[in-house]
Every structure is written in structure tokens, then in C-alpha cells.
Chains A and B, each alone.
Chain A
């Protein structure tokens, strides 16, 4: 028995070797293009699902990995489980490098690292009884073949996840169980090998509100019972609050903020963390819907924004954050959507011409005016837009805007990549907290 897991106070173990140590981890997916590309084996591009992540998971802690879809949180979990191959960096588990391990070696490791996925309905084979499904890992890993013993061990773990009396469940099929009961069975299957690390990927998101609390409480209890360490992957900062010792916020493959849970909730530093917290609907009708949410959605990870990946949506972005050509397109499109139906939208579109030249990311833009229009007209339009809303962060990024020959020359301040650096109790990747950039 590991005594330190009984009273998990992660702060006390700061000097101790972490259970998992991730350094500069990169997991890239290549995108296959059209049929012709595939025929000649040409790659159309790369999605940087996990893009240089470093973090530790300490023994006995619950680390929350929080982000929206496309943030790379699930890919990070899958990389840890060996379900996808890392393309760079290192992951040490109990002091041993596990990236690049052959599948055979990984299989041994999976006795120590187990996973619970989001959808309990899809996680259980409908043709297997609960006894077969939950006992399956013991057979796969050759731990137990004796049928009576196997059944006894399954019964024991079922009772420990609350499916008691186990006899009532052993011979049932998944279709006989409710969503909450299925998720309990899935957790039982993950625990039957006595793992040290449990990766829980959105384990309560598909469940009704009325049972979420029950499953969360079960997971907290099991942590003590099985001396577990958790990686809790979720988009939901509200459930993470009840469960996590530390929180890492991910955005487009990177960690933008990481620190003790109390610090993240009490004083979120990164504008993205602040937005995530503000967006959670509060069951209090005396509050209105928040109107100041970041615009737009998570951009395409195959072609992330320059500089800070959050800058196009960030209300506090400024000069060094990575302004570029596509931000001009967004500015115009948001404006035209807002003004839709007004005649000036068509007039403005006629002046600017084709926006597709802006799709190639670059910190300087040479924009031709529409056919028959002068670049001076485009500059005048942009200046008018600036005058209407000078507070718009985009304009902080503009270093030069003028007509130049047949083009409009628009130069942005040069993008700087923010780095994850300690600020108070947490670490943040944001130029607002970076004296070199803001100075």
C-alpha cells in the first residue's frame, strides 16, 4: 500500500517523482487530401492536436484537463494510453519513457493505466453480459482464467462501484441497464486490474443531471478505495471544480493556464479561462445571459492563428498577440453579418472585393481593391470602420494602413508566441502577464 495516496495532498509531494511526466509532447495528425494526393502518398497538411505540452501528474492527485472540442484534450489522453502515437516529445510513466513503445509493451502498461470514455452506451459490447465485459481485462491480460475465481472478482468490483448485489447484474446485458448503471459497469471494468492511473474522458457528460453527482461521488470514493490518480478530461469547469486538485486549460493543442484548482476558480488569469467560466449557464434567473462572450469558435487546428491561438477571439488582445491577414477577414465578416440587410453591406463588399487573398496567414497584407475600385477607397472604408469602433482589439495590432500603388498595404505588429510562465500560484501563457511583450 502506498501511504501517500491515503491522504492525497498533492502540494506535499512536490519534490516526489511525478507519476506521469510529459515534456514538449507533440501529437500531430496528417490530413489526407483528395484521392490523387492519397494515391501518391502526399499529405495535405498536419493537425497539431497536441502542440508542445508539458505537465506532470502527481501521485494521488486529480488533474483536470479542460477545454472545448478541438483543444486536444482527448488526444493528449489517448497519447498517454498509447492509442495514438506521439510525434515528438516525451511521456514518462513511473520513470519510464512510454512514447514509441511497441503495442505489445503498451498492452502490459494498460494494466497500470485504464480509461473510462464518455459514452457508456458505446463502451460496452451489447452481446456481452456484464460479467463477461467486466471480467474481460482479466482474461486479456492472462491474470485470471478460472471461471469461478473470475466471477468472484467481477462480483467484488461490481459491488465496489455500487452495483450491489452483484448477482443482480452479473448476467444482465448492457441494454438492461440505465446510463448511470452502465457507466458504473465501465468504471468497474477499468478498475478490475487495479490500475494506478485512470484517464476519465468526459465520464458524466452523457448522463442526466440527476445522476451526474452520483457518478462523480463514486469516482471520488474510488480514488481513496483504489488509491487512484486521475486524469479527468472535460469541457465542464463546473464538474471539474468538485473533483480536481489541479486544472490545466487547453486551447488548440496548448496549455494556456495550469495551476491549483482553487487559484484557477478564484482568480482566472487567461482571458480564455475567464470566458469559459463566464459561459457556464448559472441556474439563477436574476442573472441575464452573458453578452460579452468571445466571438466565433475554436479555429481550424490544421491552420491555427499566428501568435497566441486565442487572439482572434480575445477581448484583451493587443500588439504582440499575433495579428494577421485572417483577422481582417473575420473583422469584415463579423461586421457584415451584424449589419446584414443594410444596403451599405453590399457597397462595402463591392469596394473590398475578394477576401480569399486573406486566407493565407501572414502578418502583412497586400490587398488589391475590387475591380474598378481604388485602394484609397478601401483604406477610407477601413478607417471608417476603425472610427466606428476604435476599441476593437484588431486595431491595436495594425502598425501600418495605407494605399500603396495598386494595393492596400496593411502591416501588423510582429506576432510573438506567448510562453507558459509562472504568475502567482499558476502558470499562464498570455502576453498580458509577460513583461517583455507588454513593455
Chain B
């Protein structure tokens, strides 16, 4: 991590209420995001990535409860009032969603969107200053000044996503959370936008939490990565090290199942992420883990720190002293069929 963390999550928990037991979508997550750092958050659908991204910003749906700490600027966001949070969102913490079409008001020109956003948070700005800052930020995102007064429908999907990112960046946030920002875009446009996001550091000094299911994107755009499974961060570390030598079997299996031009053999992970109402005991990945040992089905793994600033929650990395006798024997179990497929 480079420099002081902008934001620190400590043992963050987010539960959704259901008629029965709560869904533990984020279950004890600790994560630091450094200044100007690009952190990738990966995992399959239903592992709690989006909930974590929103939980960090205090943007939780009705019926959700957060617990633990999210420290930003010396304050715990989890305990802030909605009003105080709203004041931070925008100038300090920004969010970019997957569907750019649904986030722009079709009745407002692009210039109106910027005017409203800037006036909301910096009421003293003159119209000239608003225009100058908006055009500069849009330009960095590749939107020419000649299109400032157009409406959202006059732009393509990729342009709209550029506009959304510009709209978040115009307030110069310290941290931007981008939730699958390129998923609905074409591959060339995706590449263009990734290049812009990877340059946020240089151009805006903004830290980025990039939520994605695509490990190729993490490899190309991120400094550090956190792998999430069933509500927990099971591995975290610098991207190069994690890719070169994944410490958690889940990370390794995810990497192997990514299909790219270099892939020579198809591979998939049997089974699916568990439901988060009643997750499996011990390590939550153990029913799908090719390396599972007896201890994995009995005890929740304890986070271990590895060389090179990495951490992992997996009994393969110890601590030895807590593993019961016979605990390292391979786990006997039934084969996983299509019945459990994701």
C-alpha cells in the first residue's frame, strides 16, 4: 500500500434482514485503501462485493444493518447520521455504477448535471468556474466541450459511462468506488475506460475501489486486490504477487477459470457460492475446495500474514498449533454435481 490509507474498514459487517435469519452479505471485512491506490475487489456473483462497496459509502438499502468500523478522515462512517454521510458523498467519496443509462436524468443536459452536482457541494462556485471545471474533467474522460449541452440520449453507452465517471470526479473525491463500471460495454470501449481509470492516480489523485468479476481487468488496472468469498475477504495483497502465486485455493481456482486468449485449457469451479443465511461451517469454501482438509470443515480459518504485505484466510497457511490432530488429512466428501452449479 502506498502512503497513509484514505479509508480503513475494520471488521465491517453488513446484514440484510429476511423473515428468517439475516443474510450475512459482508461478514467481518478488514480492508485498507491507500491514497491514490487502485484496489480490485473480485469474486463470483453473490459473494458480497457490491454490498461491501456500498457499505463502505454508507449506501445500504432499507433493511440492511452495518456494524464495525469504516474510518475516513478520523471518523467512523458506520455511526454517522445519513445527513453527515450525504455531505461526504461526492466531495470525498464517489460511486460509479454499472448501468450508466439509468443514472443520468434524461430530461437534463449534461451541463445541468454538472451544474447541479457542483452547486450542491460547492455553493460558492461561479458559473464560469463550474463550466471550466466540468469541461476539463469531461475532456480528461474524452468528452469534447462541443457536446456539453447535449442530453444523455445523444450519447453512446461508453460516452455515458465516461460522463458518469467525470460527474463523480469533478468533485475531486479522495476515493471512488466503481461497481462493474465496464460490464455492459464493448471490449474496445472497456479497454479505453480501464485506461482512464488506471490513470486516475496521475490525473486526479483519487483512490479507486474497482469491483469486478473479471480478473483480466484487475491484472491490467489495479495495484492491489482483495478476493471475496461468501462475505469474507479470503486473500488480499499486491496484484503481481497474488497472480504469480495465489495463496488461497479460491483465488487460484478463479484465476484458472478465467478465459483469455492465453488460456490453453478450460477450467471451472464446481459448485456455487453458498447462501449467506446459513453458510457452511469452518471455511466457507471447503465444500468446493480441491485442497480441503478435515480442519477446514470444522474451524473457521484464522487470518495469516504472509511475506510481501499479503494476508490469507486458509488453513493451508496455518497456524499449525491450532490445527487439531488428523486435521490435515484430506476431507472425505461427496462429489459436487451440476445440482450445486453456479
Contact = CB atoms under 8 A, between A and B. Distances in A.
Interface of A: 68-69, 162-164, 168, 178-181, 184, 207-214, 216-217, 235-239, 241-242, 265, 275-291, 293-295, 297-298, 332-334, 336-341, 345, 349, 355
A337 B220 contact: no
A352 to B, nearest CB: 10
Contact of A340 (B138, B157, B158, B263): B138
A223 B108 CA distance: 51
Contact of B159 (A286, A297, A338): A297
Contact of B267 (A181, A213, A281, A340): A213
Contacts of A68: 186-188
28 contacts: A69-B186, A162-B338, A178-B341, A179-B45, A179-B342, A181-B338, A209-B215, A210-B342, A213-B257, A214-B341, A279-B187, A279-B190, A280-B260, A281-B214, A282-B216, A282-B220, A283-B258, A285-B220, A287-B220, A291-B195, A293-B188, A336-B139, A337-B138, A338-B139, A338-B142, A340-B139, A341-B132, A341-B135
Contacts of B263: 238, 241-242
A236 B159 CA distance: 21
B188 A276 contact: yes
A188 to B, nearest CB: 12
B217 interface: yes
Interface of B: 44-45, 132, 135-140, 142-147, 156-159, 186-192, 194-195, 198, 213-221, 239-240, 243, 253-255, 257-263, 266-269, 272, 337-339, 341-342
Contact of B158 (A275, A281, A287, A297): A297
B259 to A, nearest CB: 5
Contacts of A355: 146
B216 A214 contact: no
Contacts of B240: 285-286
Contact of B136 (A179, A281, A341): A341
Contacts of B266: 213, 216-217, 242
B200 to A, nearest CB: 12
Given A209-B44, A212-B259, A217-B266, A340 B338 contact: no
Given A282-B261, A337-B138, A293 B145 contact: no
Contacts of B186: 68-69, 235, 297-298
Contacts of B260: 238, 280-283
A265 B261 CA distance: 9
Given A210-B44, A265-B261, A345-B145, A279 B191 contact: yes
A341 B144 CA distance: 11
Contact of B219 (A168, A241, A277, A282): A282
Most A-side CB within 10 Å, residue of B144, B218, B239: B144
A349 B186 CA distance: 31
Contacts of A242: 259, 263, 266
B214 A208 contact: no
B145 A349 contact: yes
Contacts of B44: 208-210
A213 B214 contact: no
B139 A337 contact: yes
Nearest to A218: B338
Most B-side CB within 10 Å, residue of A68, A265, A280: A280
Contacts of A288: 220
B342 A178 contact: yes
A238 B259 contact: yes
B187 A339 contact: no
A277 to B, nearest CB: 7
A283 B219 contact: yes
The 3 A-B pairs of least Cβ separation, nearest first, read: A340-B139, A281-B216, A341-B136
Contacts of A212: 257, 259, 268
Nearest to B189: A297
Contacts of A287: 219-220
A337 B145 CA distance: 6
A301 B58 CA distance: 42
B211 to A, nearest CB: 14
A391 to B, nearest CB: 20
Given A241-B261, A349-B146, A180 B187 contact: no
B254 A285 contact: no
A86 B198 CA distance: 44
B338 A235 contact: no
B130 to A, nearest CB: 13
Contacts of B221: 289
Contacts of A275: 188
Contacts of A286: 240
B213 A208 contact: yes
Contacts of A207: 342
A388 to B, nearest CB: 17
Given A279-B187, A281-B217, 9 more contacts: A211-B268, A212-B268, A242-B263, A281-B190, A281-B220, A282-B261, A333-B147, A336-B144, A340-B135
A70 B256 CA distance: 32
Nearest to B288: A210
A276 B259 CA distance: 15
Most A-side CB within 10 Å, residue of B136, B145, B218, B262: B145
B169 to A, nearest CB: 13
A438 B204 CA distance: 44
A332 B220 CA distance: 30
A294 B188 contact: yes
B53 to A, nearest CB: 18
Contacts of B220: 281-282, 285, 287-289
B219 A281 contact: yes
